[in-house]
Amino acid sequence: SQQGEEDPQALSIQEGENATMNCSYKTSINNLQWYRQNSGRGLVHLILIRSNEREKHSGRLRVTLDTSKKSSSLLITASRAADTASYFCATGPAGGTSYGKLTFGQGTILTVHP
Amino acid sequence: GAVVSQHPSWVICKSGTSVKIECRSLDFQATTMFWYRQFPKQSLMLMATSNEGSKATYEQGVEKDKFLINHASLTLSTLTVTSAHPEDSSFYICSAEGIGGGREQYFGPGTRLTVT
């Protein structure tokens, strides 16, 4: 079963608005990562937040992590039509140094209308 | 930055045939590579962990005799789908974990497999 569950499943907004996506997970993690995937393409790594971090910024992206609630959120500010894509959270397991064995959430399909 | 390539990017094969997909780390060495499968409009599901020089570790429910994985060098892992069936049609994505302190994971662009 999927570790991560994301909501909303789909989000439709106008250009310039902010987009917030949420991710919940069930087990202990070493880190949580967010990826973007354009239709039929590979994954683009957006940001990684470690379990001992609470918030991280990268450009127009802001990620928060609440390990007590086992949840994370991705905020994209001032969205652009080019941000239209599917967004996935992925968790790396606790108890090891490898980031590799990721468990992906179901994803949020973001559509930004120009 | 680290680049992972996959070949082919798409392939169509007939039911019953075998298909090999390559995953290469182009500018770094990867002791560990991962293979994922993604069905349309679904998330990525980890199939197996490929370790250079040793047998792959398969996730529960993944048939190791059907999905053969070979990781013969630090820059190449291959996934062979044997006796492919239409239900094997999917998007297969590999990722490679770099050697070094960060051990970041880098994803390939994916291979679209269609079995007719």
Q: Is the pLDDT of residue A59 over 70?
A: yes
Average pLDDT, chain A: 90
Checking if the pLDDT of B38 tops 80, the result is: yes
Chain A residues at the B interface, defined by Cβ less than 8 Å, are: 2, 35, 40-45, 48, 88, 90, 97-107
The confidence band for A2, taking pLDDT boundaries of 50, 70 and 90, is very low
Chain A positions in Cβ-Cβ contact with residue B108 (cut-off 8 Å): 42
Indicate the range of A13-17, B34-38, B53-57, B62-66 predicted with least confidence. B53-57
Model pLDDT, residue A100: 65
Distances (CA, A) of A92 to A5, A19, A40, A105, B92: 15, 24, 24, 12, 20
CB-side neighbour CA atoms (13 Å) of A46: 26
For the cut 60, the answer to whether the pLDDT of residue A62 exceeds it is yes
The mean per-residue pLDDT over the stretch B79-101 comes to 89
Residue A97 in this model has a pLDDT that exceeds 60:
no
pLDDT of residue A96: 58
